[in-house]
Chain A
């Protein structure tokens, strides 16, 4: 358990020191994280930082406990989710996910090029067809019509997207492995390469997730 959260003499809560979420838990900045260990640490820290423990303490200690436990909860929420954890690491390493795509959008606008991160080119044809189908489905639903063949097509596309989603997750995990190794011994350049690759995987994954959401919405809407 991280010692800096508590007073060395009396064991009570201390004001938070600005640290990243990995450091808050006393973990290295690595992406393969033992979920059981994380949970164990979270519970142990909760028992000592939570405002309930300081309900009758001095105002200052109550304020510190509130700040520290909100930090703890924010950190836990981010680190326990593999995608949020990866995105958080990218941001920590100076890669702004949103800005990247914003920049990409501006660049795409300026040059007339296709926005790479947003529509992965290898998906272009599939996405175009799927969007047509979805459009058709929505129109049919409005008219109260029912076309099992169309639903089947969309169902197939959905399965294909889910498979891609799974593949991307495996890809992401293999980047984790590379990153964790590079934290210990890699060069700056090497790490940059891994981060770029991870950003690409995450962007693709986000794109597919959004598509899947659209598909589900279109299917579920009566």
Chain B
């Protein structure tokens, strides 16, 4: 039943995780390096191979132009709305991007769209899960910030598809966290989830009722998080270096990356220490050192963390609740480790927030719970149901550039609205609809989601056709539209032009491309794994030769083993998987007699009361799991 694994994925700005339900308890699946967190960093190594996660981190400093981080900030966005981002993040964009186009980011000589980069991270997580289960993983629940708009959600779903995952559901991060918390606390009441991550902030207020998790209101800021704190410190460091040392390193990617690393370490230290030191090596043998006292740090970040207050108040207002009516407050996201943030939340809601679950992992754990719910449920999840809301109002541009809201924010999803349109000119056969998302009165202040062209309206006198357009926001928070001309009963054709998204064809071709890369990746992985196995067996042989058993072999036998050994050494550093594989297998065969003799002597030794450890016997090479390619519908 391995094909039925549904994993929960937290695709974060800074770190990503994959989790599953281990029986009735959600658990994070570690990577090959044994670590739960996979940094959301993608780089190309010296051989132009894609490297993801911890292994990619060193390239942020060594070859910043060949690596990218915090790509989540660019998901579902256009060139015109990332000017602020570009000032603070070293994104290398392709030179020819037009307004309204999907962004393309340069990594070395290649260019990738944000969903493709996210797909590389997702593929790494998928691989980690496949290694863990020893079988293919094709279905996933992926979390998104609750305040993500339609375009950002669509981009995340596209990333999943490009990574070869069937995304069963996008779940809002704070809601997922509440699922993880709600598992063992079968309580009813009102819960507020305050989620300050690496790049996004969400506040969600939920009503828990006999296993139903009903979101009442949500609010947030998709560009507010730990990154902003880092950038404040980086700016100070850069100014210091220019002022005190007379060095302008702003354009020096490597140095900026070093400063960033130092700043993050200092930030983390300041959550538990009264002071931290920034210490960065600069070009020309100079050094930047600065002491950062906690108090100064707290003063510095106050304006950033204060930006979370407005959304919290708005969410309370929308939920029609006073802070005193909130029964519990839950903290999510790495940035909530900062004592000043905890204090702010405590003041805001008048109670000590919960921090029992690891704020870095709780979202992924909740996603795993939701994955189980979607998979048909288990004993603990069978009563659980998530009722989420749309964070932003959906509107339509009407005469005068005004937004006519048709689905209000905080409506439980799925939600729908039906609008009627007619023509203004005799015989008009097309009607254009501009769909917007946001709370502002004017269309130009809202987020443009898509332009629809209703085609094939039967020619009639102006005002005669009655076109029914149904807008529906599905359980992922993504909009669907259908239209019908009522007098003729004709299904009107809709041509969708997503304002910032990829077309289905683009996603499809990226998926195919990723298969090509996947093939390539797979071969490389095979080679690496085989090489590792060769090293293990060769090392075992070196030890074996020191064993008495070696001398018990005939000289012909010894010569044969040494020939095979040389043969394997000769091929193991090459890229020919089959040659390495054959070398390993023949050497394994050739040393069978040696192994037997060693075993005998080990047993004899053991009988003589000697410890096994001294025999030079080692565990055999581990057979690597061949990772099967998943089948896609």
**Chain A residues packing against B (C-beta within 8 Å):** 43, 46-47, 50-53, 55-56, 66-67, 69-71, 73-74, 76-77
> Is A46's CB under 8 angstroms from B375's CB?
no
For B413, the closest partner residue in chain A by CB is A73
Pair B414/A66 contact, Cβ less than 8 Å: yes
8 more contacts with CB within 8 A, not counting A47-B212, A52-B370, A73-B412, are A52-B385, A55-B374, A55-B375, A56-B376, A67-B472, A73-B411, A73-B413, A74-B415
A70 and B415 contact, Cβ closer than 8 Å, known pairs A51-B475, A52-B374: yes
Q: How far is the CB of B317 from chain A (nearest CB, A)?
A: 12
8 Å CB interface, B25-47 against A: none
Please determine whether B414 and A69 come into contact, CB atoms closer than 8 angstroms.
yes
- Tell me which of A43, A50, A51, A76 contacts B209 (CB under 8 A): A43
Selected contact of A51 from candidates B210, B411, B415, B474, CB within 8 Å? B474
Assess the B385–A70 pair: CB atoms within 8 A.
no
How many Å from the CB of A157 to the closest CB on chain B? 23
Q: How far is the CA of A70 from the CA of B418 in the complex (A)?
A: 12
Interface residues of B in 341-376 (CB under 8 A from A): 370, 373-376
A-B contacts, 24 of them at CB < 8 A, read A43-B209, A43-B212, A46-B212, A47-B385, A50-B387, A51-B414, A51-B475, A52-B370, A52-B386, A53-B385, A55-B168, A55-B375, A56-B374, A66-B475, A70-B413, A70-B415, A70-B416, A70-B472, A73-B412, A73-B414, A74-B416, A74-B417, A76-B412, A77-B412
Do residues A46 and B169 form an inter-chain contact, with CB atoms below 8 A?
no
Cβ contact within 8 Å between B415 and A73: yes
B465 to chain A: closest CB distance in Å?
Answer: 19
Determine the distance from Cα of A76 to Cα of B376 in the docked complex, in whole angstroms.
26
CB of A49 to closest CB in B, whole Å: 10
Within 8 A of A (CB), among B169-227: 169, 209-210, 212
Q: Which residues of A contact B475 (CB under 8 A)?
A: 50-52, 66, 69
Q: Which residue of B lies closest to A71 (CB)?
A: B416
Tally of B interface residues using CB under 8 Å: 24
Closest to B411 in A: A77
Chain B residues positioned under 8 Å from A43 (CB to CB): 209-210, 212
Q: Are A52 and B212 in contact (CB under 8 A)?
A: no
Q: Which residues of A contact B370 (CB under 8 A)?
A: 52
Contact A66 B387 (CB under 8 A): no
Bound CA–CA A50/B376 (angstroms)? 13
Whether A66 lies near B385 (C-beta < 8 A) is no
Instruction: Give A43 to B386 CA distance when docked, in angstroms.
Output: 11
CB distance from B515 to the nearest CB of A (A): 24
Provide the residues of chain B in CB contact with A66, threshold 8 Å. Answer: 414, 472, 474-475
Query: Cα distance A66–B415 when bound, in Å?
Result: 9
Q: How far is the CB of B395 from chain A (nearest CB, A)?
A: 17
B473 CB contacts on chain A under 8 angstroms: 70
Residues of B within 8 A of A55 (CB): 168-169, 374-375
Q: Is the CB of B474 within 8 A of A50?
A: no
A47 neighbours in B (Cβ, 8 Å): 212, 385
- B416–A52 touching, CB < 8 Å: no
Whether A52 lies near B414 (C-beta < 8 A) is: no
